[in-house]
Structure 1
Amino acid sequence: PSSASLAPPRAGQAVSTLRFWLPPSRVCHLLLFPQGEDNFTYCPATGLAEGNEHSSFAGWAFPFPGVFLAEEFISKDEEVGVVELMDRDEWKPSQSGRKKQDYGPKVNFKKQRLKAGGFTGLPSFSKKIVAQMEACSVLGGFMPVEQCNLDYRPERGSAIDPHFDDWWLWGERLVSLNLLSKTVLSMSCDSEDSIQLFPTFSNENGELNPPGSLTQTSSCENSGKQGSSCLLSPRLVPSKEVTVAIHLPRRSLVVLYGEARYKWKHAIHRRHIEHRRVCVTFRELSAEFSAGGRHEELGKELLEIALSFQGTPV
């Protein structure tokens, strides 16, 4: 859960005037996160998307639910071993300069048709990785039925356009392990809705962060009041104007679920591939293929194959 909280209104403060107070030890300092063209940066410590320093949203933030990030999910030695095993198999050409290895059933998403085909399970080296996921609070009961390895290289201009993963076959949680180099997962939203932003404060004294980024309301100016006693009301902005950067360190595990899965598209831009990057994505079955679902029996069959961990790329 997010550690960001809405500060309770003080005596005489209008209830409609809200603010976030971020404990100094939990503030994501923007200097730690190189900024690209995204105008917000996700802070794992607070669960907030914070306006980037040089954007028009500096000093503003909003809750960004549905992201779980675990750094150093595997060790350096494990990373070397996993990639070495991957490279023993063929990497097949994919779209936008990527190469891929698939471990999963044969699917026609357009016609919603599915069969096991040549699927023989997830690879043996993933068994330990999947077992480690059980320690993650958001991955209780997670049973991967498909694994996709993607190889990104700057010399190929590798990228992936903003998209939603399918939700007819794949379930809510998308789990990705980021290997060999850091990158940025860019989140965007096509919704016609608006997002409510709140001014942020960086310490208990109520100093604005960054200083001077917020202007006083006209009522404050007229009354002659100064400083943090005059707080801005929440600001509404169109969702389409907002992009959020989720910084993925090397060897980190990221889970997208809830709004981050179903409301926000995710992408990897070319400018964020500086060195070779390998992404390992695990997907679970949707409700339709799970217990009580229309295709429960087929789902059971696929899970039994997947969790044998005897697979080769299809």
Structure 2
Amino acid sequence: MALPRFTRPKDGIVRHSPHLFVANCGPAVGLSYDQIASVFGAYGEVKGIYPADESGTRVIISYNDISSSQAAMKALNGNPCRSFGGRYLHIRYSVQTVDTKVNSIASVPVSTSASDMDIPGLYLFHDFVTNTEEQELLDAVDSRPWKHLAKRRVQHYGYEFCYDIRNVNTNHNLGELPSFMSPILERIRSFPFLHQDADTSLDQLTVNEYPPGVGLSPHIDTHSAFERLIFSLSLAGPCIMEFRKYAAGVWQDQPTQSSDVEKLADENNSSFVRKAIYLPPRSLLLLSGEARYAWHHYIPHHKVDKVNDSLIRRSSRRVSFTIRKVRRGPCRCEFPEYCDSLR
């Protein structure tokens, strides 16, 4: 859903505008958008109704003209609204803003399918799980303890991923993958397009919870740590994932701090190729071959993503299930310039 951004006038002056910020109004207080549109539509044509924040108790009413917003303000602000059961609404004018940060990262086109990316070994499966399955998976991990990192929470199953060495300790097995993963693993193993020699006996799961604005620095999953198939299931919220292929000898020196990453992205650096894909909730991303071994993947640290001409605000959380198989020996891939086993 495309979401414009609104804010109060910064100079504190009450400035008339066609946009109204309405408090004590929204789905969280039992009012549907259709009900809201019916009431505010009595004062003029409503161009759009948008959530003002994630609380569900405040909305933005956007009219086509100022006279309509003035009429609604005069009639409804601070007065009991009979159509809303006598609820008092608190209204102020709002102004639409331009998210310059979103514009600054919009130079790379965003694809909605892997086939448009032209990256060998990259696949995206929409609606890999149902809404019901998504909620069951979220309930399952929320009933288990989380480990807190600097900006996100994680859970590890099978083997713990050690972020300091970007590898796993194969001598420390945490046990089998949890039973709630059985339907997912069975569905993965049934993929008809996978080669017959593909090893889908996956034994490592990392669950990441990303709050709004938190992303992931560019990286390639360590070759010596995992086999060639990496699956990532996106739940609860969407995001943009960017892929970068660096020139030989350049990729090892790339920054890992988010501020440096953003600066590098804005400089249109010619030392790497950039491509981006939109990952909707309930989709499964597969990295294999060149996509897994030679392309860095990266989630920008933004609260709003730009997909073509639409601004998509990230949800209150995004939870990813990254499923892999731990490697038992050195990697023997065909990408030595990116391989820690072959350097």
TM over 0.5: yes
| 2:146 partner letter | W
**Mapped pair 1:166 → 2:222:** yes
Partner residue of 2:106? 37
Partner residue of 2:329? 288
Partner residue of 2:140? 85
| 1:105 partner letter | Y
Partner residue of 2:290? 259
RMSD: 3.0
SS across alignment from 1:242: strand
Structure 2: runs of 5+ lacking an equivalent: 1-101, 250-267, 306-312, 332-343
Equivalent residue in structure 1 for 2:194, among 138, 142, 149: 138
Q: Are 2:110 and 2:276, in contact at CA under 8 Å, matched by a contact in 1? A: yes
Tell me the percent identity: 26
**Mapped pair 1:148 → 2:148:** no
Over residues 54-102 of structure 1, what are the superposed CA-to-partner deviations in whole Å (9 max), with x where a residue is unaligned? xxxxxxxxx321211111001100101110111011221124x111001
Change (3 A) 1:248 1:126: same
Q: C-alpha distance in 2, partners of 1:37/1:171?
A: 33
**Mapped pair 1:48 → 2:106:** no
| 2:274 partner letter | T
Q: C-alpha distance in 2, partners of 1:48/1:144?
A: 28
C-alpha displacement at 1:37, in angstroms? 2.9
Partner residue of 2:281? 250
| 1:171 partner letter | E
Q: C-alpha distance in 1, partners of 2:323/2:204?
A: 6
SS across alignment from 1:125: helix
Equivalent residue in structure 2 for 1:102, among 156, 172, 187: 156
Structure 1: runs of 5+ lacking an equivalent: 1-33, 50-62, 194-236, 291-314
Q: C-alpha distance in 2, partners of 1:113/1:78?
A: 29
Change (3 A) 1:255 1:123: same
C-alpha displacement at 1:278, in angstroms? 0.3
Q: Are 1:106 and 1:116, in contact at CA under 8 Å, matched by a contact in 2? A: no
Partner residue of 1:182? 238
C-alpha displacement at 1:111, in angstroms? 10
Q: C-alpha distance in 1, partners of 2:277/2:168?
A: 33
| 1:280 partner letter | F
Change (3 A) 1:171 1:135: same
TM-score calculated relative to the size of structure 1? 0.56
SS across alignment from 2:138: helix
Greater C-alpha radius of gyration: 2
Partner residue of 2:121? 66
| 1:142 partner letter | T
Q: C-alpha distance in 1, partners of 2:134/2:216?
A: 23
Q: C-alpha distance in 1, partners of 2:148/2:227?
A: 26
TM-score calculated relative to the size of structure 2? 0.51
C-alpha displacement at 1:158, in angstroms? 1.7
Change (3 A) 1:266 1:104: same
Highest RCO, 1 vs 2 (Cα 8 Å, sep ≥ 6): 1
C-alpha displacement at 1:43, in angstroms? 5.5
Change (3 A) 1:112 1:256: closer
C-alpha displacement at 1:241, in angstroms? 4.6
Q: Are 2:238 and 2:279, in contact at CA under 8 Å, matched by a contact in 1? A: yes
Change (3 A) 1:171 1:239: farther
Q: Are 1:40 and 1:242, in contact at CA under 8 Å, matched by a contact in 2? A: no
